[in-house]
Amino acid sequence: MAGMANQAFGYTGNGRKRQGSDDIGGDGDMIVAKKGMGQGAAACWDDPAAALAAARHEFGEHGGVNMSIEASATFTVMEPETMRRMFAGELGPDRDFFIYSRHFNPTVLNLGRQMACLEGTEAAYCTASGMSAISSVLMQICSSGGHVVASQALYGGTHALLTHFLPRACNITTSFVDIRDHVAVREAIVEGRTKALYFEAMSNPTLTVADVPELSRIAHEKGVTVVVDNTFAPMVLSPARLGADVVVHSISKFISGGADIIAGAVCGPASLVNSMMDLHQGTLMLLGPTMNAKVAFELSERIPHLGLRMKEHCSRALTFATRLKKMGLKVIYPGLEDHPDHALLKSMANKNYGYGGLMCVDMETEERANRFMNLLQNYSQFGFMAVSLGYYETLMSCSGSSTSSEMSHEEQVLAGISPGLVRLSVGYIGTLEQRWSQLEKAISRMVQEGGMLLKN
């Protein structure tokens, strides 16, 4: 299997059904007609929705409009020789030959194809969580002694992985930098030893935006692989189309949209995804953070409306951010023109999706942040106090004491996280004005209580 160099996880593949009594058959029945396009073709679409719609559509086994779920751990063959050829790497998933579902599974592979189209990468494969996607790709790219240059503003779990786990367990070390400081990024790269530049396209929770084209250029000059976490901005930003090599996702957030599933994906070159599946050296194959086929099916059915959902998350976030700012609150939202990264985001964003579904309100102290969230949930029913994001209801959390609490106080200051920072993942159910009146009601109550001073 180590020799499976050119398996296609991108857009190729076929809808071959196992018919007749032999595995290979004549040339003619090897590949059944499919709606699709060749590997890498998604890169020519400038809108991820167009790439998704042009991708191969997989039909169900009995002609169902939806694919069948391949709920099998193992796969049978018609002839013993086929097994040997599969293990030798001569027959693989690109020709519809599967061995065992910790390796490739057709249903999970189909979701991988959708993810590759979404991000405009050659290939993608899905994992059991966002963290397993991130850890697997970094451990694949960096060997013992390897070095990572990473943004100091990262999801708490990723920050802990880089700060504590990877140095102890794998002898992989990280230098954290302010990725807005391109000179610092260049200086932090140790030529030969630095294997990856890692950052979030839109950072958690401060919503700073990375200059993907320029950072990719700096990294590529020194032979460094660029890995971008695009969890906060699917559809809105396409880091691989802007120059990044690998895009990782926590599918648990916007892509799922249901707050019911934990899942992740690695989108990148076929050579990387192949290496992660290698029988002797592959992190996905050997550490085994495998996605279940039933989960993959559920997620596949949600991707077609991801674009619609993102547009609504984004337009509501922009409306609320604009109105809250007008009232005099300290709002952080990169869709606002006075946000320091607004022009950069606008230059990189895909057209007509908006500027992201998250916004922050800085209440300055944790006490005031907590009072605000308490009123929003229990007095005006605006949203739920919960970590995570991308749900149809609004979710609110105080980042410093929750999702970024893995970071020390000093690290939080460096990442720009104020103790009173309330992060809101803006939902889309209900009417806009209904939800706005709930938001206003909580603010009025807080002003009455003397807990908030409005500058205007």
Ligand X SMILES: *Cc1c(COP(=O)(O)O)cnc(C)c1O
Give the residues lining the site for ligand X (CB under 6 A).
129-131, 155, 157-158, 200, 204, 229, 231-232, 250, 252-253, 262, 264
Closest distance of CB 233 from ligand X, Å: 10
With respect to ligand X, which residue has the nearer C-beta, 395 or 439? 395
3-class SS of residue 398: strand
Place of tokens 């240059």: 149
With respect to ligand X, which residue has the nearer C-beta, 37 or 284? 284
Residue 401 per-residue DSSP state:
G
Closest distance of CB 208 from ligand X, Å: 13
Closest distance of CB 131 from ligand X, Å: 4
Cα 126 to Cα 13: distance, rounded to the nearest angstrom: 17
Q: Is the Cβ–Cβ distance between 112 and 56 less than 8 Å?
A: no
Closest distance of CB 151 from ligand X, Å: 11
With respect to ligand X, which residue has the nearer C-beta, 366 or 406? 406
Q: In what order do the strands lie in the sheet with 246-250?
A: 123-127, 264-268, 246-250, 225-229, 194-200, 147-151, 173-177
Pairing of strands 421-425, 395-398: antiparallel
Radius of gyration of the chain (CA): 23
With respect to ligand X, which residue has the nearer C-beta, 231 or 290? 231
With respect to ligand X, which residue has the nearer C-beta, 234 or 335? 234
Cα 92 to Cα 96: distance, rounded to the nearest angstrom: 6
Closest distance of CB 157 from ligand X, Å: 5
Q: How far is CA 424 from CA 28, 48, 259, 312, 326, in A?
A: 54, 25, 15, 15, 18
Q: What is the DSSP string of 1-38?
A: -TT-TT---SS--------SSSSS--STTTS---S---
Closest distance of CB 252 from ligand X, Å: 4
Of 448, 202, 414, 207, the C-alpha closest to 321 is: 207
Closest distance of CB 412 from ligand X, Å: 16
With respect to ligand X, which residue has the nearer C-beta, 31 or 128? 128
Residue 232 per-residue DSSP state:
T
Closest distance of CB 361 from ligand X, Å: 19
Q: For residue 205, say if its preceding peptide bond is cis, omega within 30 degrees of 0.
A: yes
With respect to ligand X, which residue has the nearer C-beta, 10 or 356? 356
Closest distance of CB 332 from ligand X, Å: 16
With respect to ligand X, which residue has the nearer C-beta, 232 or 333? 232
- The pair of structure tokens assigned to 400 is 């410093």
With respect to ligand X, which residue has the nearer C-beta, 251 or 375? 251
Q: In what order do the strands lie in the sheet with 421-425?
A: 331-332, 358-362, 421-425, 395-398, 384-385
- The pair of structure tokens assigned to 160 is 């802990």
Closest distance of CB 253 from ligand X, Å: 6
With respect to ligand X, which residue has the nearer C-beta, 126 or 439? 126
Q: How many Å is the maximal CA-CA distance in the chain?
A: 80
Cα 239 to Cα 209: distance, rounded to the nearest angstrom: 11
Closest distance of CB 423 from ligand X, Å: 10
Residue 397 per-residue DSSP state:
E
- The pair of structure tokens assigned to 307 is 């674009």
With respect to ligand X, which residue has the nearer C-beta, 77 or 133? 133
Cα 403 to Cα 205: distance, rounded to the nearest angstrom: 9
Q: Is the Cβ–Cβ distance between 116 and 272 less than 8 Å?
A: no
With respect to ligand X, which residue has the nearer C-beta, 107 or 132? 132
Of 10, 97, 107, 124, the C-alpha closest to 67 is: 107
Closest distance of CB 204 from ligand X, Å: 5
Phi, psi (rounded to 5 degrees) for 58: -90, 125
Q: Which residue is nearest to ligand X (CB)?
A: 130
